[in-house]
């Protein structure tokens, strides 16, 4: 508070030392300050008179430098008295002015009058000034259970470079709960209104600081950044996508948060928090969605009529002072409601700002995505914006879509006015994407037909095909050799089984019959094996594996001979009536050799099978 008083003291000295401008005077000033939300609006009705001989065509408006920094919107319009038919509002031109010999603590704007004001003439007009971040939370930090108190500072006198004959000020508050306010002469309070004045015959640059400290639990919703993308499709739709980075701009929350207390008594244990936001969408909005990084947020309600579509959204948690959230809103609009054609050019006519109610936007970026092939692009906006062009590559694009980017800072709901984007577009360009799809599917099916009907196998006369074919023949022959060897081993097993039966039954004739049958089969298998070996020996592809195959055949023949010798020895012993122990001793060494040979044959079969 002490720094504020010092600021006002220095400011008062500066303006009191400033000279008056021209012979204009303000015969009546009626000023109204609306503090019902965190956006401060000052509406002033000024009646200006020319007391000098020279023609006057403009009127200067003065604002303190600190107040001018927070100014988001300024508009002047001719005043229409009560009872008169309301005509469409035509704003008067307002520009920044730099009059000479004025202190730097003041910022001036000039309002151009509809026609020159002659001596003795008068003109009445209204001025609307909108300010953001003009309410300062006092205290700056509060707990969940505290109410939010804010401070507003201004002047009871209208600050003007002209003398003022009569003036009054009305301060409108959210409710009647006022912590404190500056009391001056002719100060009255009526419920939620504080009235100062009337004051008469005040000189130029009169200034009387006032401060109002009051309760305000209105949503201090501030979008630190909003990226709004408007994508035009000539197939009948305008798609709007809005990315919000939101913060509660009121008193910072301190201490712990209790959701139980908040849900039990939200108006007491969370009076300063806001739980929902309202967006007024165009009347025929469709395909509306609301989501954040986690996914879709179901706590939203949509209702509409012929005039508007109202979207009520709730964040995932109540927003206390300093808390942040980020989310995205998207919806579609009928193209015919916003796209028009004039003088061979098409133009988009749509609102610039956010549809959110009472939202302050620190930085607003609007991206208008035009169809690919658009040219001769221009923008008409009702206020100054930064502008540049980008390119967006989307599905089925070749060169990309031109994107007009419009950027503005310190945006308030009054900026939600219509702007236009003009461009030329050839109707034949609309056929580009369908033709690309048709061509893509056509060539795809042609490729499928060619693939199914064409012979893409390797030529039978090529070296690679012949080598592959020869190797396949070698593999087939080796498989037959393996089968024959396996059958031979099976016969060996049958002979061993006949010997076991001999030990058990003593039937020599049955054992000889098994031997005779085995000899017959083994001879047949030997005849089948000879041409196979000849084939492998004549094939160059079998050069690497042939030694192993020949070794396998040799080992099998040696094994076959050993099996026959063992079989003959055992049968002879039984015929000579030798004892069982004597027979076993005679064939023990032979059995050891048989076991080793059988293992070698099995190893060779496994090795060849792996190859």
Tell me the pLDDT tens digit for each residue of 242-262.
Answer: 999 999 999 898 888 887 777
Burial of 381 (0-12, 13-18, 19+ CB in 10 A): middle
CA dist 322 and 328 (Å) reads 20
Residue 501 confidence (pLDDT): 84
Cα distances (angstroms) measured from residue 368 to each of 233, 282, 331, 373, 383: 11, 17, 15, 14, 17
Backbone φ and ψ for 379, nearest 5 degrees, come out as -130, 140
- Kindly indicate the confidence band of residue 88, based on its pLDDT and cuts at 50, 70 and 90: low
Q: Which two tokens stand for residue 320?
A: 């206390």
Other C-beta atoms within 10 Å of 198: how many? 14
Element (H, E) at 376: strand 375-380
Q: Which residue has the higher pLDDT, 134 or 13?
A: 134
Classify 298 as helix, strand or coil. Answer: coil
Query: Which is more confidently placed, 342 or 166?
Result: 166
Q: Calculate mean pLDDT across residues 576-595.
A: 79
417 Cβ neighbours under 8 A, 6+ residues apart: 351, 352, 353, 382, 383
Confidence tier at 8 by pLDDT (50, 70, 90) = very low
CA dist 337 and 544 (Å) reads: 82
- State the pLDDT at residue 164: 94
With bands split at pLDDT 50, 70 and 90, how would you rate the model's confidence at 7?
A: very low
DSSP bridge partners of 411: 361
Q: Is the peptide bond before 305 cis (omega within 30 degrees of 0)?
A: no
Q: Identify the pLDDT of residue 83.
A: 54
Give the integer Cα–Cα distance in Å for 221 and 360.
7
How would residue 45 be classed by pLDDT, with cut points 50, 70 and 90? very high
Predicted TM-score of the model (pTM):
0.70
pLDDT: which is higher, 283 or 580 = 283
Q: Tokens for 601?
A: 């044959």
Confidence at residue 455, expressed as pLDDT on a 0 to 100 scale: 64
With 0-12 / 13-18 / 19 or more C-beta atoms within 10 angstroms meaning exposed / middle / buried, residue 170 is middle
pLDDT of residue 509: 86
Token digits of residue 203: 């000189």
Residue 367, pLDDT score: 96
Q: Tokens 């009871």 map to which residue? A: 156
pLDDT, tens only, 470-507: 888 888 888 888 898 888 888 888 888 888 888 888 88
Measured in degrees and rounded to the nearest 5, phi and psi for residue 3 equal -65, -35
Closest by CA position to 353, among listed 379, 321, 376, 385: 385
Q: Which residue has the higher pLDDT, 104 or 406?
A: 406
pLDDT of residue 202: 93
Beta strands in 276-344 (DSSP E): 277-281, 286-291, 300-304, 309-313, 324-334, 339-342
């Amino acid at each position: 508070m002490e720094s504020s008083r010092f600021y006002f003291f220095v400011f008062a000295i500066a303006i009191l030392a400033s000279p008056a401008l021209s012979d204009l005077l303000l015969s009546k000033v009626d000023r109204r300050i609306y503090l019902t939300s965190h956006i401060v609006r000052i509406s002033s009705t000024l009646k200006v008179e020319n007391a000098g001989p020279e023609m006057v065509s403009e009127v200067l408006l003065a604002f303190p430098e600190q107040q001018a920094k927070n100014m988001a919107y300024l508009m002047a319009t001719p005043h229409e008295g009560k009872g008169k038919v309301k005509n469409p509002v035509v704003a008067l031109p307002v520009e920044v002015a730099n009059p000479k010999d004025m202190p730097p603590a003041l910022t001036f704007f000039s309002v151009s009058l509809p026609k020159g004001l002659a001596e003795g003439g008068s003109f009445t007009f209204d001025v609307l000034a909108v300010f953001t971040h003009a309410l300062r939370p006092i205290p700056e930090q509060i707990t969940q259970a505290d109410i939010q108190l804010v401070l507003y500072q201004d002047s009871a006198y209208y600050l003007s470079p002209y003398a003022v004959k009569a003036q009054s000020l009305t301060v409108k508050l959210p409710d009647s709960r006022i912590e404190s306010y500056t009391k001056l002469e002719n100060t009255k309070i009526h419920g939620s209104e504080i009235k100062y004045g009337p004051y008469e015959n005040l000189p130029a640059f009169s200034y009387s600081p006032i401060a109002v400290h009051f309760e305000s639990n209105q949503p201090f919703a501030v979008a630190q950044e909003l990226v709004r993308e408007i994508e035009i499709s000539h197939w009948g739709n305008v798609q709007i996508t809005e990315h919000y980075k939101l913060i509660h701009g009121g008193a910072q929350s301190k201490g712990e948060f209790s959701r139980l207390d908040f849900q039990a008594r939200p108006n007491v244990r969370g009076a300063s928090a806001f739980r929902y936001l309202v967006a007024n969408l165009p009347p025929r909005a469709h395909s509306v969605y609301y989501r954040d990084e986690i996914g879709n947020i179901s706590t939203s309600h949509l209702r509409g009529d012929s005039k508007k579509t109202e979207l009520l959204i709730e964040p995932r948690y109540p927003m206390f002072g300093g808390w942040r959230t980020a989310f995205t809103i998207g919806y579609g609009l009928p193209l015919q409601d916003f796209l028009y054609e004039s003088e061979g050019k098409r133009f988009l006519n749509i609102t610039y700002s956010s549809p959110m109610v009472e939202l302050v936007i620190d930085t607003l970026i609007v991206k208008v995505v035009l169809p690919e092939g658009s040219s001769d692009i221009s923008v008409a906006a009702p206020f100054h914006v930064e502008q540049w062009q980008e390119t967006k590559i989307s599905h089925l694009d070749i060169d990309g879509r031109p994107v007009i980017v419009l950027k503005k800072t310190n945006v308030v709901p009054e900026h939600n006015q219509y702007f236009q984007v003009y461009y030329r577009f050839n109707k034949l360009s609309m056929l580009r994407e369908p033709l690309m799809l048709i061509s893509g599917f056509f060539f795809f099916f042609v490729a499928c037909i060619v693939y199914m009907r064409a012979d893409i196998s390797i030529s039978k006369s090529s070296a690679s095909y012949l080598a592959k074919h020869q190797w396949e023949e070698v593999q087939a022959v080796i498989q037959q050799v393996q089968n024959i060897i396996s059958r031979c081993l099976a016969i060996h097993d049958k002979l061993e089984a006949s010997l076991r039966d001999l030990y058990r039954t003593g039937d020599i004739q049955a054992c000889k019959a098994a031997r005779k049958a085995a000899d017959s089969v083994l001879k047949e298998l030997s005849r089948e094996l000879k041409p196979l070996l000849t084939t492998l020996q004549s094939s160059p592809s079998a050069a690497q594996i042939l030694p192993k195959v020949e070794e396998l055949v040799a080992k099998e023949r040696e094994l076959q001979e050993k099996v026959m010798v063992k079989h003959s020895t055992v049968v002879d012993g039984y015929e000579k009536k030798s004892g069982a122990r004597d027979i076993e001793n005679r064939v023990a060494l032979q059995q050891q050799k048989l076991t080793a040979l059988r293992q070698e044959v099995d190893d060779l079969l496994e090795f060849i099978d792996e190859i």
